[in-house]
Amino acid sequence: MTHVRNAAMALVALLLVVGGAWASWDSAQHVLLAKGREHGTLTVTGCTEETCSGTYAPEDPSSTRRTLTIEASVAAEKGVTIPVVVKPGTGEGVRTGWGGGLHAWLPLGGALLLAAPVIGGGLRMTRTAWSLAGAGGALLVAAFLTL
C-alpha cells in the first residue's frame, strides 16, 4: 500500500512540474531561442486586465512599424518602452532580457512551490521539497525584482 501511495504522490508532483514547464514554454521559447526572430521595442499606449498594446519599432529598418500586444505585468504601464521579440505569425510580443526570461518561467516557479508540499508530505522527502520550494520562490522573487 505504501508503494501505491508513493507512486500516486510522485505522479501528482510530476504532473505539477511538467504542467508548469509546459505553460512556461509557450513564452519562454521565444526569449530563449530568439536568434532569427524579429526584435524591437514596444512603447505601451494602453493596457487592459490581461494585455497591453502599443507601437512596435523594429530593430531592422526594412520592417514596418505596427501595433503589438504583450502580456500585462506590473512593469508595463502607459509610456514605458519595453524590448520585445515578436512571436512568429502573430501580433504578439514577448519581453526579452532577464526580466522577460524570468517572467516567462513564472508558471514553472509556481508549480515548483505547489509540488514541494506534495513531495515533502506525501513522499517524505523533506530536503528535496525544501530545495524545490527554494528554487520556485527564488524564481518568483527574481522575476518580481527584474521587472
Does the pLDDT at position 80 exceed 80? yes
Domain boundaries, the chain: 2-30+107-146, 38-95
Give residue-wise pLDDT tens across range 23-76. 999 999 999 998 888 999 999 999 888 899 999 999 988 888 789 999 887 677
DSSP letters for 50-109: SEEEEEEEESSTTSPPEEEEEE--TT--TT-EEEEEEPTTSSEEEE-HHHHHHHHTHHHH
Mean pLDDT across 8-36:
94
Could you tell me the three cell numbers for 147? Answer: 521587472
Give residue 74's pLDDT: 63
- CATH number, domain 38-95: 2.40.50
Q: In the prediction, which pLDDT does 34 show?
A: 87
Contacts of 10 (CB under 8 A, 6+ apart): 123
* 29: helix, strand or coil: helix
Whole-prediction pTM: 0.86
The single residue listed with the C-alpha cell 499606449 is 45
**Which of the pair, 35 or 17, is modelled with greater confidence?**
17
Per residue in 99-142, pLDDT (tens digit) is 899 999 999 999 999 999 999 999 999 999 999 999 999 999 99
- Which three cell numbers mark 41? 521595442
Say whether 118 sits in a helix, a strand or coil. Answer: helix
Q: Regarding predicted confidence, which is higher, 21 or 146?
A: 21
Q: In angstroms, rounded to a whole number, what is the distance separating the alpha carbons of residues 14 and 134? A: 17
The backbone torsions φ and ψ at residue 146, rounded to the nearest 5 degrees and listed phi first, read -80, -20
